[in-house]
Structure 1
């Protein structure tokens, strides 16, 4: 295991950039995910590919998918070569096209079985200033990062609800909960993913054991970190100062890929169930966050919300009863 670089914030949570004991893969039996079917979008490369391989190493059946069949096939072939006994399949799907996602879901179920773990990993983010952004580029980014996860989650959810179990994970960014310039469409979509996970968990928690998470995976090197990929030509031409910043910033994102991968496996294992419905930051030592889970719940931490003053009512409202008792007729 690579050494971890740790610092602490004001709350004493270690900042992790590589593997650490709580997420160490050595803790799992080789068949930990036996009989579990995992669908990972955007798994032809990067985090998605390595995550799929990790699940295969622990006995899961994995559906690899990417925008191109070539990338999806290559990922499945790599998994099979490393783990000959693993059950895998591959399928090309476009996150922007609902019918494509329907076919992906149907293919996965027919070949591997109903989906137990869904990881919404596919995404696209680029840098620009909003004043020059093209409408078609804005909506393409929002569709890939928000509509796609909404649609594939909707397709997988009914069987999870019927079984009363399952795990749904959305791969996000710190920009979903913090405010950054120069990538507004991407941040809008990732914030929407967060609301999906937070609010869906509220709908599911009374009647099922389904666990929903949104996770910032740290900052490993991926294609999204390639300055040429992350900056459209017209933006580079019109905003040279932004291009200079991007060219300097993105190469600095070089954290350990295993931090991202095994943090997600940790969530899928059920070990972080007390944090379900919340935003997880892979850089925050999750064992330390779990030690403080009472404080997390009491303060509604690791969720999307606005910090405001408490407005004191002179008397309760009738609506308060219904807000507290959502499922009563």
Structure 2
């Protein structure tokens, strides 16, 4: 197995993680596909049993640091190395901020931010030992563009992006790169009941907007324009390139949203430029 690069992906039991595992196998990687149920992961990736020459399925709940360390050790025991980590596992707790319970808000951040932190913390010593590697984190348009009904999800994804941007220069001296992936709307399981939880309506002022939003999002599930298999194939192509991008907006809608945010930031910087630039000490 020494000649094969090894890719570990979280949340491979369904959705985008499954497609990433399949695309990596097709591209010649050895793959460590993780999820809460290894049997379901093997079935999703299309393998009967938990091992082939190029595939290892491992149980992993990303909120469990000890479990992440055990999964990484299993990968090293099997393949001897980890070249690429794809932090993909996540869920979606949707609703207006006042109606999301503090417990649910914290749980959203625990899974979508601290989950990738746990797995990356376990993987980095392996990559540092090899003086090479790539850490990929699946973010979202919600990682740079806030919107109503997504406060908990956006908080976690904004945090993910800030952490990744800060991590990049810390680990670059060890030959380890990072990449943030920001998908738009793809036909994944994200809006299905298995992945999305809606806050329980409790405030009349939000009731009508909640009803409209839940109806619209439920109707969108399974009809999103993006093809996750194409995203996975493109991601594996970028992963294998000499210069993986620090940030990749996946989908035409994501590119448009990123451009919109960039224009808004430039406008906001310019609007009060004179006032903002007048705050130095007089003796400076």
TM-score normalized with structure 1 length: 0.70
Please state if 1:41 is matched with 2:19.
no
Q: CA deviation at 1:305?
A: 10
Matched, 1:209 2:175: yes
8 Å contact kept, 2:94–2:199 = no
- What's 1:155 paired with? 122
Q: What does residue range 85-104 of structure 1 map to in structure 2 within 5 Å?
A: 86-104=53-71
Find the aligned partners of 1:46 and 1:160 in 2 and give their Cα distance.
27
Instruction: Please give the residue correspondences for 1:76-91 in structure 2 after superposition, counting only pairs within 5 Å.
Output: 78-79=46-47, 86-91=53-58
Write the deviation string for residues 20-63 of structure 1: whole angstroms up to 9, x where unpaired.
Answer: xxxxxxxxxxx9x9521111000111111111111111221111
Q: Which 10-residue stretch deviates more, 37-46 or 228-237?
A: 228-237
Q: 1:240 to 1:231 in 2, by over 3 A?
A: farther
- In the alignment, the residues of structure 2 paired with residue 281 and residue 186 of structure 1 have an alpha-carbon distance, to the nearest angstrom, of 18
Give 2:249's match in structure 1, choosing from 275, 278, 281: 281
Structure 1 residue runs without a partner (length 5+): 1-30, 289-300, 318-329
Deviation of the 1:113 alpha carbon: 2.0
Q: Is the 8 Å Cα contact of residues 220 and 254 (structure 1) preserved in structure 2?
A: yes
Structure 1 pair 233–201 and aligned structure 2 pair: CA distance change class (3 A): closer
4+ residue runs over 4 A deviation: 235-238, 304-307, 312-317
State how many pairs are aligned. Answer: 266
Structure-2 separation of matches of 1:204 and 1:110: 24
Work out which of the residue numbers 172, 185, 193 in structure 1 matches 2:160. 193
Distance 1:307 1:107, change over 3 A: farther
Change (3 A) 1:93 1:228: closer
Scaled by the length of structure 2, the TM-score of the pair is 0.80
Contact 1:227 1:247 in 2 (8 A): no
Larger mean CA deviation between 304-313 and 168-177 belongs to 304-313
Residues 100 and 200 in structure 2, CA contact (< 8 A), matched pair in contact too? no
Residue 119 of structure 1 aligns to a residue whose secondary structure is strand
Q: Is 2:182 aligned against 1:225?
A: no
CA RMSD between the two structures: 3.5
